[in-house]
Amino acid sequence: MSNFLNKAFGFETGKHNVRTEILAGVTTFLTMAYILAVNPSIFSELKEMPGGAVFSATALAAIAGTLMMAFYAKKPFALAPGMGLNAFFVYTICLGMGYSWQFALTAVLLEGIIFVILTVTKVRTWLITAIPGTLKKAIGAGIGLFIAFLGCQNAGIIVDSESTLVSLGKISQGTALVAMLGLMVTAALVMLRVNGGVLIGIIVSTFIGLVVIDPATGAPVTQLARTETGFVQMISMPQSISPIFCKFEFSQILTWDMLVVVFTLLLLDIFDTMGTIIGVYQGESMIEKDEVDDLEKMFMADSVATICGACLGTNTTTTYVESAAGIGAGGRTGLTAFSTAVCFALALFFSPFFLSIPSAATAPALIVVGVMMMPAVKRIQWDDFAKSIPAFLTIIVIPLSCSISDGILMGVISYVVIHAIAGRYKEISVPMWILAGLFILRYILI
């Protein structure tokens, strides 16, 4: 068995623990399972794409991409149709530019094919090596803040404000109360080094939600799915993806708009994935040097997953930052990713059960993982403003814009501009000049 686990997932007996890897995979799934509900909701704006089909496509894309990561790259990262990328698909390409969802799926397919080419030619790895170490450390810290911010926002700890954009919610009631109580439990378990502490925190928070009433709805925070007759529902059959499967529109692949859309998708996805992988590794101190082993394999898994997602009928499939929750719980091998994929497969049939876990229950895990990723800040040269200002912009733009790629883009542009103003041209590599130019072009185009 140990020999099989080693060949299949890179699992090493004595160094890794099966129970820990499986619990880590389940933890990752629980923190990212929201995409199963969010994606159909966003795609509901496109009346021609059935919600049930989108749900099934979302789960299948996550399974395909995460299995590729598990068996090929042997890394503990999970993939699924990306947040932000789904909004770009629906609101920008379809509703904004007026193109059909078939046109958008074609753009995603082309993006995936180009990604495969860029990965085989090692261009994506070249991009990572071109990013200065200071910015890589900043990416990890920025993602940590981003994850924690998402957790606070999902739980209602942080809410919208017309005057200040965001404000503190009513933490003594409803979802925020469940999240705060869950955070105390999760923090205690993590400090006591309890195996699976983050996952246990999610489960405990879910049970707390059964007895805490949400003032906004007058119902418990944790809502169990029920049948029309009132019985608790746990199982349902997945719906067919035939209405959206391989529905491409190749007649406009040579148009200017298609070029702009594909270029934008490339930038968004490549730096979301790069930021997630580098940021999570840096935050967990899983490596001491700036390179990530087997980077090409991880990028290839991401590239192939995007092609699969397009064929299945959903938006760009990307590596999820919530993978940090599983890695924070001790996941280190492809067995963690495999466990996450199994959970997505089960979700196809147990969607009522999995979708009953409220965002307030996963928020404590995201907040704790955010804390785990902050040590990278200590290694930034804060006394050198030419480096610290771009690093700070990267850290702050990622959570405030809710975009890893925008944070990286702003960091690279400011790094080049500030070093040029300071006359420190020798510290700007040729790739950094090229990247800065491309990033500026991206903001000009869209």
pTM for the full predicted model: 0.77
Task: Say how far apart CA 282 and CA 376 lie, in whole Å.
Answer: 6
Q: pLDDT per position in the chain (446 positions), as tens?
A: 778 888 889 888 888 899 999 999 999 998 888 888 778 878 888 988 988 899 999 999 999 999 999 999 999 999 999 877 887 898 878 988 889 999 999 999 999 999 999 888 888 777 777 788 888 888 878 878 988 888 898 889 999 988 899 999 988 889 999 999 999 999 999 899 776 788 788 889 989 999 999 888 889 998 887 777 777 777 888 889 999 999 999 988 888 888 888 987 887 787 778 778 777 765 544 444 444 457 788 889 999 999 999 999 999 999 998 898 898 888 999 999 999 999 999 999 887 777 778 888 888 888 887 887 788 788 888 999 999 999 999 999 988 987 777 888 899 999 999 999 999 998 998 889 988 998 888 788 76
Cβ atoms 40, 27 nearer than 8 A: no
Helices and strands in the chain, H and E counts: 19, 6
Provide the 10 A C-beta neighbour count for residue 287: 12
Q: Which residues of 231-266 are buried (b: 16+ CB within 10 A; e: fewer)?
A: eebeeeebbebeebeebbbeeeeeeeebebbbbbbb
Structurally, the chain folds into a number of domains equal to 1
Domain that holds residue 140: 2-445
Task: Say how far apart CA 355 and CA 224 lie, in whole Å.
Answer: 9
Provide the 10 A C-beta neighbour count for residue 430: 8
Which residues, in sequence order, are CB contacts of 33 under 8 Å at separation 6+? 343, 347, 354, 355, 357, 362
Three-state DSSP class for 158?
Answer: strand
Looking at residue 113, its pLDDT comes to: 95
Integer angstrom CA distances of residue 99 from 104, 164, 261:
7, 35, 11
Task: Say how far apart CA 110 and CA 394 lie, in whole Å.
Answer: 29
